[in-house]
Structure 1
Amino acid sequence: MDLTRRDFHFGLITAAATLPSLAAAQSPAGDAAILARVDPELRVGARMILSRPLPDPLTPDAVRAIRRTLPPAPSPLPPPAAAVERRVAPGIAGSPPVGVIVINRKSGTPPRPAILHIHGGGMILGRVADTIVASQRLAEELDCVVVEADYRLSPETPFPGPLDDCHSALVWLHAHAAELGVDARRIAVMGESAGGGLAAMLAIAARDRRTVPLCYQLLIYPMLDDRTGSMRAVPPFIGTIGWNAAANRFGWTSFLGRPAGSVQVPTGAVPARVDDLRGLPPAFIGVGSLDLFVGEDIAYAARLIDAGVATQLHVTPGAYHGFDGIAPKARVAIAFTAAWKGALRAAFAASA
């Protein structure tokens, strides 16, 4: 199986399986009931995930153990693949500098579009190094520049630290557009899972701070609402494969610095709780019908549409969180990937 940024979850559950304190796996009867709802081509991956549940409960010590036991990150593809450069962006006042990875910069060519990519991991996990190979391939396929933001993780760094890191990377990308061969009018933000949630936050922050005019926001099964799994229950067959309600509560609590689902949360920290979505860039939201985030993602898409934001929503039946990375050759995964790539191509063309 080729490693892509969207199969980070595979590394997470593989590492989790080595830990001594794990939640009990589903019973065979329970597994069968869950798997009956899964697309047939995705069932092998679903069985693997169900056999390797996350630690229960998730704790800071368990998170650190998962980080230590993740498999090595893949090495960047060598030339003639898209070049990889490591740079540093100044942090927001009071924050440290932010590492950025620039992929596919070319001099002497007409300005090209760019993507600021934000990796996933529930706000508590993930490594920018895991995303480089996939971003090299995407940069070549779309003939664009990809910049990876190496943001700080929670609970060590709660909000607004991770968002400020991503915003610093975005401002740096925009300010250095000419040097990087980037068309400053064609910059998109993209992320998966927690990265999708941060990308949505970043689109809101860029609007409110009046910093970078974005042409698009590409949100892949984004983590948008801290109330999911805390104040808001989901049907029992949703969010049972992989990232679940308990993990979501821990991830959001770590990020917010207060319990998930609290009456008050910091302004701009939870996209689903932002009152005014007008003036945001066009959006693509993609999610599986069995993903814990499906309800919040559909609701956010509807609110974007009501706010006058051009929005494409793609819901894949029988798909769980991270399915396109676990089974990238499945029919539904190929269709899902084609949908978001097509949307991104169209956005770049429309902004040219």
Structure 2
Amino acid sequence: MPSTQHVLLKQLLTAATGPLARRRPGLAAMRLALEVASLGQLMPWNVFLKDADVDGMAAEWIQPAEATPGRVLLYLHGGGYVLGSLNTHRALIGALAQQCGVNALAINYRKAPEYPFPAALDDAQLAYRWLLNQGYAATDIIVAGDSAGGGLALALLLALRANQEPLPAAAVGLSPWTDLVLPTSVLRRVCQEESQVLEALEIRGWGPLYAAAASLAHPLVSPVRAELYGLPPLLIQISDAEVLGDDVLRFVQKARAAGSPVTLQVFEGLVHWWHLFWLFLPEARVALRRVADFTHQVWAAPEAAKAA
């Protein structure tokens, strides 16, 4: 049963995005609205920010005061490949980094339609290789992301595997966008369950903007359509009420069938992007603690094996 806070949040989102859905604002207006909304974020206490230059790409270190040195969370923000920035997700990344007890590197990867596929994926690979060049071992890196950023994190694993590069210790997808084709089941949910929110964000138009000349079914655009063998441990969180849920479940089933270890955590009745509202949403704080539990287990496993 969703919390009272979530009920209020959903009512607020419906009231705020309903008029936008009817007016169908342009992409520039949506970008500006999201940036303005992000001004109200509050960073967790004792989490510090430091600008970073990742071979010419703007990035930011988000550093809890008591972070474990030598390990890092590479975070890829959501926003349908067309929205979002370091600003919009800074507080969420800070809260997650603090829970996990590690520093996080957030990158301002390029967005469509100005920079379509594979620009975002190239930037994710650039950041990952940059971390390796900074002295981090692949086993000391966990890649994470929400929504489109979650899908991008999974695509990053596939690209690294194809290039025979070392894979990170694990990956975390928070409501990841795994299929940009948007099958009929997804469109049905858009119409029935979250139409005002998702139509306001025009999710159905974002996939083609990102894919551009590539097929929406390209495995590095829609990871659910890839061969999913040989991946590191994955944590996937999803709500049973959000429109991306069916596709995520297909991804999990396919990855498990291919032998890749996947931990699936399903939350009841929550809106897409509920993690962003961690400051006042108890379900979001629970989700972040579960991510932290997963990262601790991933990094503890090799140490336990050595001790044995």
Same fold (TM over 0.5): yes
* Mapping 1:99-248, distance limit 5 Å: 99-104=58-63, 111-177=69-135, 182-228=136-182, 233-235=187-189, 236-240=191-195, 242-244=197-199, 247-248=202-203
- CA drift of 1:110 comes to 7.7
Within 2, Cα distance between the matches of 1:336 and 1:137?
11
- CA drift of 1:154 comes to 0.8
- CA drift of 1:232 comes to 5.3
Structure-2 residue corresponding to 1:273: 225
Contact kept in structure 2, 1:171 and 1:211, CA below 8 Å: no
Structure-2 residue corresponding to 1:87: 52
Within 2, Cα distance between the matches of 1:249 and 1:332?
27
User: Structure 1 residues 65, 144: CA separation in 2 closer, same or farther (over 3 Å shift)?
Assistant: same
Within 2, Cα distance between the matches of 1:227 and 1:77?
35
Deviations 1:37-93 (A, max 9, x none): 96654211111111122644897x711012233315468969x83442222223xxx
Which has a greater percent of helix?
2
Name structure 1 gaps, 5 residues minimum: 1-36, 91-96
Alpha-carbon RMSD across the aligned residues, in angstroms, is 3.1
Aligned to 1:53, the other structure's residue is in SS state helix
Taking every aligned residue pair, what percent have the same amino acid on both sides? 21
User: Structure 1 residues 186, 298: CA separation in 2 closer, same or farther (over 3 Å shift)?
Assistant: same
* Mapping 1:51-90, distance limit 5 Å: 51-53=15-17, 55-56=20-21, 62-69=26-33, 70-71=35-36, 73=39, 81-90=46-55
Please, which of 239, 244, 265 is the counterpart of residue 288 of structure 1?
A: 239
Structure-2 residue corresponding to 1:345: 296
User: Structure 1 residues 49, 111: CA separation in 2 closer, same or farther (over 3 Å shift)?
Assistant: closer
Structure number, greater radius of gyration: 1
Using structure 2 for the length normalisation, give the TM-score: 0.84
Contact kept in structure 1, 2:231 and 2:261, CA below 8 Å: no
User: Structure 1 residues 74, 50: CA separation in 2 closer, same or farther (over 3 Å shift)?
Assistant: closer
Contact kept in structure 1, 2:145 and 2:173, CA below 8 Å: yes
Within 1, Cα distance between the matches of 2:237 and 2:224?
16
Using structure 1 for the length normalisation, give the TM-score: 0.74
Contact kept in structure 2, 1:125 and 1:153, CA below 8 Å: yes
Structure-1 residue corresponding to 2:306: none
Contact kept in structure 2, 1:291 and 1:319, CA below 8 Å: yes
Within 2, Cα distance between the matches of 1:256 and 1:200?
16
Aligned to 2:165, the other structure's residue is in SS state coil
Contact kept in structure 1, 2:99 and 2:288, CA below 8 Å: no
Aligned residues: 298
Aligned to 2:58, the other structure's residue is in SS state strand
Aligned to 2:195, the other structure's residue is in SS state coil
Name structure 2 gaps, 5 residues minimum: 304-308
Deviations 1:101-132 (A, max 9, x none): 123399xx985321100111111110112333
Structure-2 residue corresponding to 1:306: 257
Amino acid at match of 1:53: T
Within 2, Cα distance between the matches of 1:47 and 1:271?
32
Amino acid at match of 1:66: M
Q: Is 1:320 equivalent to 2:256 in the alignment?
A: no
Q: Name which of structure 1's ranges 338-347 and 234-243 shifts more when overlaid on structure 2.
A: 234-243
Contact kept in structure 2, 1:305 and 1:311, CA below 8 Å: yes
